[in-house]
Amino acid sequence: MITIEFLGPIQKAPLTLEASSLRDVAEVLKQDSEMTQWLENCAVAVNDTLVASLDTPLKSGDKVSLLPPVCGG
Amino acid sequence: MLELYEGGLNVPEIITRWYAEEAQFNYGAYIPFIGTVREEDGIDGLSFDVYEPILNGWFDAWQSKAEALGAKLKMAHSRGDVLVHQSSYIAAVFSPKRRVALETIEKFVEDFKVSAPIWKYDLRGGQRLYAADRSTPILGAGILGEKQ
Protein backbone atom coordinates (compact mmCIF):
# COMPACT_ATOMS: atom_id res chain seq x y z
CA MET A 1 0.00 0.00 0.00
CA ILE A 2 1.11 3.56 -0.68
CA THR A 3 -0.14 6.73 0.96
CA ILE A 4 -1.21 9.87 -0.89
CA GLU A 5 -1.15 13.15 1.02
CA PHE A 6 -2.70 16.39 -0.17
CA LEU A 7 -0.83 19.53 0.84
CA GLY A 8 -1.77 23.16 1.38
CA PRO A 9 -5.24 24.19 0.23
CA ILE A 10 -6.44 20.76 -0.97
CA GLN A 11 -8.93 19.89 1.72
CA LYS A 12 -8.70 16.14 1.53
CA ALA A 13 -7.72 13.40 3.99
CA PRO A 14 -4.81 11.10 3.04
CA LEU A 15 -5.61 8.05 0.92
CA THR A 16 -4.00 4.62 0.97
CA LEU A 17 -4.14 2.39 -2.06
CA GLU A 18 -2.30 -0.23 -4.11
CA ALA A 19 -0.18 1.30 -6.86
CA SER A 20 2.95 0.25 -8.72
CA SER A 21 3.57 3.59 -10.44
CA LEU A 22 2.29 7.15 -10.51
CA ARG A 23 0.22 6.16 -13.54
CA ASP A 24 -1.94 4.05 -11.20
CA VAL A 25 -2.28 7.00 -8.82
CA ALA A 26 -3.34 9.28 -11.69
CA GLU A 27 -6.01 6.80 -12.78
CA VAL A 28 -7.53 6.68 -9.30
CA LEU A 29 -7.43 10.44 -8.74
CA LYS A 30 -9.02 11.16 -12.14
CA GLN A 31 -12.13 9.34 -10.93
CA ASP A 32 -12.39 11.73 -7.96
CA SER A 33 -14.41 14.85 -8.82
CA GLU A 34 -12.91 16.74 -5.87
CA MET A 35 -9.49 16.44 -7.54
CA THR A 36 -10.38 17.67 -11.04
CA GLN A 37 -9.24 21.23 -10.39
CA TRP A 38 -5.91 20.11 -8.90
CA LEU A 39 -4.46 17.43 -11.18
CA GLU A 40 -3.48 19.88 -13.93
CA ASN A 41 -1.52 22.16 -11.62
CA CYS A 42 -0.12 20.03 -8.79
CA ALA A 43 3.51 19.01 -8.58
CA VAL A 44 4.15 15.49 -7.28
CA ALA A 45 6.73 14.23 -4.80
CA VAL A 46 7.55 10.64 -3.90
CA ASN A 47 9.04 10.32 -0.42
CA ASP A 48 9.62 14.09 -0.41
CA THR A 49 11.51 14.23 -3.72
CA LEU A 50 9.81 15.98 -6.65
CA VAL A 51 9.31 13.73 -9.67
CA ALA A 52 8.52 14.47 -13.31
CA SER A 53 7.29 11.20 -14.82
CA LEU A 54 4.13 9.14 -14.53
CA ASP A 55 6.35 6.09 -14.93
CA THR A 56 7.97 6.72 -11.55
CA PRO A 57 7.76 3.30 -9.83
CA LEU A 58 6.15 2.96 -6.41
CA LYS A 59 6.59 0.32 -3.74
CA SER A 60 4.70 -0.48 -0.58
CA GLY A 61 5.24 2.16 2.10
CA ASP A 62 5.94 5.00 -0.33
CA LYS A 63 4.44 8.43 0.30
CA VAL A 64 3.11 10.42 -2.67
CA SER A 65 2.53 14.13 -2.02
CA LEU A 66 0.52 16.53 -4.17
CA LEU A 67 1.77 20.12 -4.07
CA PRO A 68 -0.63 22.73 -5.45
CA PRO A 69 0.57 26.13 -6.80
CA VAL A 70 2.73 27.98 -4.28
CA CYS A 71 3.12 31.56 -3.10
CA GLY A 72 5.51 32.11 -0.23
CA GLY A 73 6.74 35.41 1.12
CA MET B 1 20.11 28.35 8.08
CA LEU B 2 16.34 28.14 7.69
CA GLU B 3 14.08 29.33 10.52
CA LEU B 4 10.31 28.89 10.75
CA TYR B 5 8.14 30.78 13.22
CA GLU B 6 4.51 30.77 14.25
CA GLY B 7 3.00 34.14 13.28
CA GLY B 8 4.75 37.37 12.33
CA LEU B 9 8.55 37.61 12.43
CA ASN B 10 10.52 39.60 14.98
CA VAL B 11 12.49 41.39 12.27
CA PRO B 12 14.87 43.48 14.43
CA GLU B 13 15.87 40.42 16.48
CA ILE B 14 16.46 38.21 13.43
CA ILE B 15 18.45 40.59 11.25
CA THR B 16 20.53 41.82 14.19
CA ARG B 17 21.29 38.27 15.32
CA TRP B 18 22.23 37.21 11.76
CA TYR B 19 24.53 40.24 11.51
CA ALA B 20 26.23 39.27 14.78
CA GLU B 21 26.52 35.59 13.79
CA GLU B 22 28.47 36.44 10.63
CA ALA B 23 30.37 39.50 11.86
CA GLN B 24 33.69 37.66 12.20
CA PHE B 25 33.64 35.82 8.84
CA ASN B 26 35.02 38.63 6.69
CA TYR B 27 31.91 39.11 4.57
CA GLY B 28 31.92 42.51 2.88
CA ALA B 29 28.20 42.49 2.04
CA TYR B 30 25.02 41.55 3.95
CA ILE B 31 21.74 42.02 2.08
CA PRO B 32 18.48 41.21 3.88
CA PHE B 33 15.22 41.15 1.94
CA ILE B 34 12.22 41.65 4.22
CA GLY B 35 8.71 40.82 3.05
CA THR B 36 5.93 42.69 4.87
CA VAL B 37 2.17 42.14 4.59
CA ARG B 38 0.53 45.14 2.95
CA GLU B 39 -2.95 46.46 3.56
CA GLU B 40 -4.65 45.64 0.27
CA ASP B 41 -8.20 44.76 -0.83
CA GLY B 42 -9.45 44.89 2.73
CA ILE B 43 -7.50 41.89 4.03
CA ASP B 44 -6.80 41.54 7.75
CA GLY B 45 -3.57 39.68 7.02
CA LEU B 46 -2.14 36.60 5.35
CA SER B 47 -1.77 33.04 6.53
CA PHE B 48 0.74 30.39 5.45
CA ASP B 49 1.08 26.62 5.28
CA VAL B 50 4.64 25.29 4.96
CA TYR B 51 5.73 21.80 3.90
CA GLU B 52 9.01 21.52 5.72
CA PRO B 53 10.62 18.34 4.25
CA ILE B 54 10.72 19.69 0.69
CA LEU B 55 11.40 23.27 1.80
CA ASN B 56 14.51 22.04 3.63
CA GLY B 57 15.78 20.23 0.53
CA TRP B 58 15.14 23.27 -1.66
CA PHE B 59 16.98 25.54 0.78
CA ASP B 60 19.93 23.15 1.15
CA ALA B 61 20.36 23.05 -2.65
CA TRP B 62 20.44 26.87 -2.72
CA GLN B 63 22.92 26.96 0.17
CA SER B 64 25.25 24.69 -1.82
CA LYS B 65 25.01 27.03 -4.84
CA ALA B 66 25.77 30.03 -2.62
CA GLU B 67 28.71 28.31 -0.94
CA ALA B 68 30.24 27.61 -4.36
CA LEU B 69 30.33 31.42 -4.81
CA GLY B 70 31.77 32.02 -1.33
CA ALA B 71 28.39 33.25 -0.08
CA LYS B 72 25.96 32.16 2.63
CA LEU B 73 22.14 32.30 2.73
CA LYS B 74 19.76 32.64 5.65
CA MET B 75 15.99 32.59 5.57
CA ALA B 76 13.12 33.01 8.01
CA HIS B 77 9.43 32.45 7.24
CA SER B 78 6.14 32.44 9.11
CA ARG B 79 3.57 29.71 9.51
CA GLY B 80 -0.01 30.53 10.37
CA ASP B 81 -1.44 34.03 10.55
CA VAL B 82 0.54 37.22 9.89
CA LEU B 83 -1.37 40.47 10.25
CA VAL B 84 -1.14 43.54 8.05
CA HIS B 85 2.13 45.46 8.59
CA GLN B 86 3.83 42.44 10.14
CA SER B 87 6.57 40.58 8.23
CA SER B 88 6.36 36.99 7.07
CA TYR B 89 9.62 36.50 5.18
CA ILE B 90 13.28 37.41 5.46
CA ALA B 91 15.91 36.18 3.05
CA ALA B 92 19.52 37.26 3.45
CA VAL B 93 22.82 36.73 1.72
CA PHE B 94 26.33 37.26 3.03
CA SER B 95 29.16 37.47 0.54
CA PRO B 96 32.71 38.76 0.35
CA LYS B 97 31.74 41.20 -2.42
CA ARG B 98 28.57 43.05 -3.38
CA ARG B 99 28.07 41.74 -6.91
CA VAL B 100 27.65 38.11 -5.83
CA ALA B 101 25.39 39.23 -2.99
CA LEU B 102 23.15 41.36 -5.23
CA GLU B 103 22.84 38.69 -7.91
CA THR B 104 22.29 35.86 -5.43
CA ILE B 105 19.57 37.58 -3.42
CA GLU B 106 17.60 38.34 -6.58
CA LYS B 107 17.79 34.79 -7.94
CA PHE B 108 17.10 33.27 -4.55
CA VAL B 109 14.01 35.37 -3.82
CA GLU B 110 12.61 34.89 -7.33
CA ASP B 111 13.08 31.11 -7.19
CA PHE B 112 11.58 31.08 -3.70
CA LYS B 113 8.37 32.59 -5.05
CA VAL B 114 7.84 29.83 -7.62
CA SER B 115 9.46 26.79 -5.96
CA ALA B 116 9.26 26.88 -2.17
CA PRO B 117 6.39 24.66 -0.90
CA ILE B 118 4.51 27.40 0.93
CA TRP B 119 0.84 28.22 0.44
CA LYS B 120 -0.66 31.65 1.04
CA TYR B 121 -4.18 32.51 2.20
CA ASP B 122 -5.92 35.86 2.61
CA LEU B 123 -7.49 36.50 6.00
CA ARG B 124 -10.75 38.25 5.36
CA GLY B 125 -13.86 38.48 7.53
CA GLY B 126 -12.76 35.59 9.71
CA GLN B 127 -12.13 33.33 6.69
CA ARG B 128 -8.87 31.86 5.38
CA LEU B 129 -9.02 32.00 1.55
CA TYR B 130 -6.39 30.36 -0.69
CA ALA B 131 -4.64 32.98 -2.85
CA ALA B 132 -5.05 30.90 -6.02
CA ASP B 133 -4.70 33.82 -8.43
CA ARG B 134 -1.29 34.82 -6.99
CA SER B 135 0.07 31.27 -6.81
CA THR B 136 2.38 29.55 -9.29
CA PRO B 137 2.53 25.86 -10.22
CA ILE B 138 5.90 24.33 -9.29
CA LEU B 139 8.09 23.52 -12.32
CA GLY B 140 6.99 20.12 -13.68
CA ALA B 141 3.48 20.32 -12.20
CA GLY B 142 0.54 18.66 -13.92
CA ILE B 143 1.81 15.15 -14.63
CA LEU B 144 -1.18 13.54 -12.92
CA GLY B 145 -3.52 15.36 -15.30
CA GLU B 146 -1.73 14.23 -18.47
CA LYS B 147 -3.74 12.22 -20.98
CA GLN B 148 -2.63 8.60 -20.90
Domains of chain B: 2-130 (3.90.1170.40)
Residue A73 lies in a domain: no
Residue A47 lies in a domain: yes
Interchain CB contact of B125 with A (< 8 Å): no
CB-closest option in A9, A30, A41 to B119: A9
CB-closest option in B49, B57, B140 to A52: B140
Interchain CB contact of A44 with B (< 8 Å): yes
Q: Is the pLDDT of residue B45 over 80?
A: yes
The pLDDT of residue B146 is 85
* Complex ipTM over 0.90: yes
d(Cα B43, Cα A39) in Å, to the nearest integer?
Answer: 29
The pLDDT of residue B148 is 61
Residue A72 lies in a domain: no
d(Cα A66, Cα B32) in Å, to the nearest integer?
Answer: 32
The answer to whether the Cβ–Cβ distance between A71 and B139 falls below 8 Å is no
A6-29 pLDDT per residue, tens: 999 998 999 999 999 999 999 999
Q: Which residue range is the domain that position A46 belongs to? A: 2-67
Q: Is the pLDDT of residue A70 over 70?
A: yes
pLDDT band at B69 (very low <50, low <70, confident <90, very high): very high
Domain of A33, CATH number, reads 3.10.20.30
* The total number of structural domains that make up chain A: 1
- Residues from chain B that touch A41, judged by Cβ atoms under 8 A, are 137, 141-142, 145
